[in-house]
Amino acid sequence: MLSRAWLRERRWIALALAFAAGAAMVAGFAPLGLWPLALLAPAALVHLWLAAPDARSAALTGFAFGLGLFGVGVSWVYVSLNQFGGMPAPIAAAATLGFCAVLSLYPAAVGYLQARLFEDDARRVCIAIPALWTLSEWLRGWVLTGFPWLATGYALVPTPLAGFAPVGGVFAVTLAAWLVAGFLWLACRQPRSGLGWALAAAVATIALGAALDRIEWTRPSGEPLRIALLQGAIPQQMKFDEAHYARILATYERLAEDSRAQLIVMPETALPRFLDRIEPGYLARLEAVAVRNGGDVLLGVPLRDAPDRYFNSAISLGVSPRQRYDKVHLVPFGEFVPPGFGWVLQVLRIPLSDFASGSPRQRPLGIAGQKIAVSVCYENSFGEEVLRQLPEATMLVNLSNVAWFGDSLAPAQHLQIGQMRAIETRRTMLTATNTGHTAVIAPDGTYAGVPPFVERRLDSYVTGRSGATPYVRAGNAAVLALALLMLAAAALLRIGPKR
C-alpha cells in the first residue's frame, strides 16, 4: 500500500490513481461482472482520500474517481448522441464529457465533506464515507430528474450483500458495500491492531446480508403462467424508417402467431407508429392470437390523445378489457425537452422526442390473470417509482428499446438494474427489449435470457407473487434515515486516534 506521505507529495499521481480506480470499478458491473472490484475500488478511493492533505484535494480526488467511473461506465451516451442522434462527433464527445463531469461532482462532494467535517480515520472510514456516499447516490438519482445509473449496489447483485435489497433497496446494498470496503482498508492499514476486528466486521456484514437473503419475503400467488417475450432485433437506424415499417410489423406478428403463451410481451415502441395510424386489421390479428391463447398481448406503442400531446405507452389486447400504461419518468432530451432547450432539437435527430409524462398514480394492469406493474425502459432504474404499483402487483414487466446505445455497456447494465428490482420486490421481472437483453428474472435475481441482436421469442413459465418486502413498504426511507444517523454518530463519537 502506497504511504499517505508519499501520495501527499505526488498529487498528480494520486489523481491518476483515483481516475484508474474509478475506471476499474466499471468492470465490477455487468457485463464483466468482476464484483470484487466494486469493493476494492472504493477501498482504494478511501486510501487516496485519507492521503489528501486538505478538503479541496480530497474533492479533486473524488472528482477524478468519478471521471473514471462515469467516463467509462456511461460512455454509451456518446453512441446515442452521435451514432443514432446524429450529433457531430466533436459535439457529442464534448456533451458526453460534460455530462460525466457533472456526475463526478457527487463523489467530489463526498470527498470534500468527509475531509472537512471529520478528522480521525476510523470515523471517516467506518461511518462517514459509507453514509455520505450512499446519500450522494440517492441525490444523484433525484436531482434534475435523476440519473441513478452505476449505483454501487447494482454490482453486488450476485453476492450475499444483495440480501440487504429487500430491506432497503439498492442503496442499502451500496451502504453495506462501502462499509465492507472501509473495513478492508482498515484491515490492510492496521494489520496489528485493526486486522481482527475489521475483518470480523466485514464478515459479519456479509453474513447478515446472506441471512436476510434467505428470508421468504413474498409467497407464490396463483398458477404458473405461460409467457412469451418477443425480441424483434430491429436495428435502430431502421426502426423509424417507413421503408422498413411493414417488415417490423411482420416480424412481431410472426413471433406472436407461433406462441401459445397466455401473456405475450412486445418491447417499447415495438410498433413504431402512433396507435391511431396502425392498421386496425393488424391489431385485430394480434388480439385474435391472445384470445386464442386465453390471455393477452402487451405491446409498446406511441399513443396520442391530441395533435401535440403524445405518450410512450404500453397497451393490452386480448381477453381482458383493453388497458394502457403511459411512461412516467421520461429521459431528458431523448423523450422530452426541458424548458429553454428547444435548440437542442436542431442538433439531435431523435424521433418522438417530446413525450408527455403519464400519471404517477397509474395502477397495475389486470391482464393474463395477473396484476402487472409496467415500466418502460429508463424508468426501471428508479426503484421507488416502481413501488408505486406495489404490493398490489404480482409481477413486474419492463418494455425497453436499448438499441439506442448499440453494442455498448448499457444493455447489460440495464439488465442488472432489472435484477435488482426483482430482488428488492421479490417478484419476477420480465424484460422485453428490441435488441436485448430480453430475459425472465427470478425473484432472487437469477435470470434466463436470449442473446442480444438476434430475432427470437423467449418462452417460459412464471408464477406471480404476493406480499411485501420491507423495501416495498418503506422505500428508501429506512436506509436514508440510517445514513443520517450514522453521520450524526460520526459527529458525536470518537472511535480512533486523530490523524
Q: Which residues are catalytic?
A: 268, 327, 377
Please give the Cα distance from 200 to 211 (Å, whole number).
16
E strands, 346-428, where?
A: 365-367, 370-376, 395-400
Question: Dihedral of CA 181/182/187/188: which sign?
Answer: positive
Asked whether 398 and 290 are in contact (CB, 8 A), the reply is: no
End-to-end CA distance of the chain: 17
Show the cell assigned to 338.
426541458
Using alpha carbons only, give the angle 385, 106, 94 rounded to the nearest 5 degrees: 95
Nearest to 443 by CA among 467, 460, 412, 420: 420
DSSP-assigned letters across all residues of 106-166: HHHHHHHHHHHH--SHHHIIIIIHHHHHHHHHHHHTTGGG---TT-HHHHTTTSGGGGGHH
Please report, as a single letter, which amino acid is at residue 125. V
Q: Kindly state the helix (H) or strand (E) to which residue 353 belongs, with its residue range.
A: none
Distance of CA 313 to the CA centre of its chain: 20
Per the listing, cell 425537452 goes with 337
Q: How many CB atoms lie within 10 A of CB 246?
A: 9
Please give the Cα distance from 217 to 465 (Å, whole number).
10
Tell me the sheet residues that pair with 466.
219
Rg, the chain, Cα only:
24
Q: Kindly state the helix (H) or strand (E) to which residue 439 belongs, with its residue range.
A: strand 439-441
Please give the Cα distance from 1 to 21 (Å, whole number).
14
Q: Kindly state the helix (H) or strand (E) to which residue 230 belongs, with its residue range.
A: strand 219-231
Question: Within 13 Å and on the Cβ side, how many CA atoms surround 97?
Answer: 6
Please give the Cα distance from 70 to 96 (Å, whole number).
10
